[in-house]
Structure 1
């Protein structure tokens, strides 16, 4: 059951009570004041970006757009390239370079008041369906991302495990948010309206009787195709491993491994971390993940950029949330809602061919 944006904001303004009074939280809760539009965009960079009068860097700057600012997304247009992509987002006030803007929606939900019993204990899988939701850790965080960010938040399309519910002194329903897989132990609370329960029906396999399923990832064209025999049944743009480091130097360290692979693990959501201090990554709630390489390369959902068609990952195959979910449901092995995680022992999964020529 959906609730109105006005009701969602009213609940958010009521605050999170004592949970947010933990001493390590040195900031006031930011209240959502998002535009009222069906399609929105979020500045998904870690800093500010410029809104331009026209879709080119040479045009006048209209204003600065700060991290996590939500804007109205009118349409995507073709303009002058800043790096590789030529895509820009048109807003009512100007144009913003599309790779910096995550497409989001604001769809608050009616909180549930009880959780089902599963083999994992009481809980449910849920997806963030608002641009972002502030989180309030239950104890001192162990994850690097929680220690480094100014405003701990979860973002549109992330998938998490909910394992407890409570109502604070202001009458707001809170979910206790957990990560079943890959988490160091962090647990946090968040406004329940920001999460949509994922149903078992959403995980039903697509074309379960189809033969000879195969995934082809083309690194040259930055595309992914799903085949049933010789028939291409799905196509999308992806972002594979980056060919350059943060200084612009050519590197092979982030290359997506070429060759034929079999999935060794599929999971609804996982916490990924790696790399060296200062240059590494630590990302929670990565949905619809298919791990296919021993070093951790995977096909998965992406919420931290919108640069599909351009190589820019640390070796994984980044896909939009919609594309990643379709591929996850279509490919083998099938992953049931409970436990939402499957390890492969031997052959049998959908072959993933990564080609570079």
Structure 2
């Protein structure tokens, strides 16, 4: 049986238990967290689906110890590869020193508590969720409604900071799909500083940069001229043929960007829809919204999964967002021009 972090311990960070906590310092003392651990939070894993199997060894042919529950938080105590796994993603995690599960079932996360900002810039700023999850509400009043659960590494445009009747700080976030507001406890989000949003390799002419996406290999390679800068795994459209959820092939440019987006799609003849607030680091390369972006709802890169977009680990999506053109000013949550980086999909 695996030993997961207790629900009580985690809920000390949730909105329902923030009543009466005036400062983040009080919250940290209640967690009995060591200061060194707070500076370098332990790598944890959030379970992505119900009934994810936990095996005795990193093999689907081994005995099942337990079935995991969505949004449980466990300690990742080892990372290895499956001996009989021949898929595009062979990574397995040991949880709590007890058993193993395939990485597709786990989002690596940390539990980082933040000091709330006293003010927010007039035009707003970017924020990133730093807890495994936090619940978002429609308002701060007693009649507030639960709206969504936001997950680690998702990003949102912050428009204000407010205190509730107990003096607890909450951030007001823009729902950029419906143009309404979300409210979350401020300790759950870090505000991304401007210097973290500066362009990478800005001296390189935009014509010299290029992204090459290989759908068969499920890889993305960034090049300057013919020099390879980096290669990373992706998840493209789940249908490999044209139509449906296929990622389009051809030559494109990243002419539109935004650091966050509430993405929604209705169910269709091709499959189920989705409702994903806070998709991070979005770089569009088609006029109808196909994009490179970060992904918090699966961790199975190297395997097709998407509805046509290029799914990336959030840190890789951030790198692409900063490396490609156009460069988005830190105080803008949407930007476009015609000098985007070339994207070749084959």
Q: Same fold (TM over 0.5)?
A: yes
Q: CA deviation at 1:293?
A: 1.3
Q: Which residue of 1 aligns with 2:116?
A: 111
1:350 aligns with: 341
- What is the aligned counterpart of 1:164 among 160, 163, 168? 160
- Displacement of 1:96 in angstroms is 1.1
SS of residue matched to 1:202: helix
SS in 2 for 1:328: helix
Equivalent in 206, 209, 225 of residue 229 of structure 1: 225
Q: 2 CA distance for matches of 1:13 and 1:82?
A: 44
Alpha carbons 2:237, 2:247 under 8 Å: kept: yes
Partner residue of 1:184 out of 154, 178, 188: 178
Asked whether the 8 Å contact 1:133–1:154 carries over to 2, the reply is: yes
Q: Deviations over 1:211-232 (max 9, x none)?
A: 4011111111111111111111
Distance 1:164 1:321 in 2: 25
| Structure-1 residue corresponding to 2:267 | 276
User: Offset of 1:198 from its aligned partner?
Assistant: 0.8
**Does the CA contact (< 8 Å) of 2:125 and 2:331 recur in 1?**
no
Q: Following TM superposition, by how much is the alpha carbon of 1:208 offset from its aligned partner in structure 2, in angstroms?
A: 0.7
**2:157/2:333 contact within 8 Å kept:** no
Structure 2 unmatched runs, 5+:
1-8, 21-30
User: How far off is 1:100 after superposition?
Assistant: 1.2
Residue 165 of structure 1: how far off its partner (Å): 1.8
Asked if 2 retains the 8 angstrom alpha-carbon contact of 1:39 and 1:103, the reply is yes
Report what 1:243 is aligned to.
Answer: 239
**Aligned partner of residue 12 in structure 2, secondary structure:** helix
The answer to whether residue 60 in structure 2 is matched with residue 57 in structure 1 is yes
SS at match of 1:193: helix
Partner SS state of residue 257, structure 2: strand
**Is 1:200 the counterpart of 2:194 in the alignment?**
yes
Residue equivalent to 2:256:
265
Shift of residue 319 of structure 1? 0.6
Give the TM-score of the pair, scaled to structure 1: 0.80
Contact 1:127/1:159 (<8 A) preserved: yes
Task: Specify whether residues 16 and 264 from structure 1 end up closer, same or farther in structure 2 by C-alpha distance, changes over 3 A only.
Answer: farther
In the TM superposition, what are the counterparts of 1:1-357 in structure 2 within 5 Å?
Answer: 9=12, 12=15, 14-15=17-18, 38-45=42-49, 47-79=50-82, 80-81=84-85, 85-91=89-95, 92-118=97-123, 123-138=124-139, 152-179=148-175, 181=176, 183-211=177-205, 212-243=208-239, 252-276=243-267, 279-344=272-337, 347-355=338-346
Q: Provide structure 1 residue ranges, at least 5 long, that are not aligned to the other structure.
A: 1-5, 18-31, 140-146, 245-249
1:27 aligns with: none
Any conservation in 1 of the 2:15–2:134 contact (CA below 8 Å)?
Answer: no
Contact 1:52 1:96 in 2 (8 A): yes
Number of aligned residue pairs: give it. Answer: 312
**Mean Cα deviation higher: 83-92 or 59-68:** 83-92
2:28 is matched with none
Please report the RMSD computed on the Cα atoms of aligned residues, expressed in angstroms.
Answer: 2.8
Contact 1:76/1:88 (<8 A) preserved? yes
SS at match of 1:226: strand
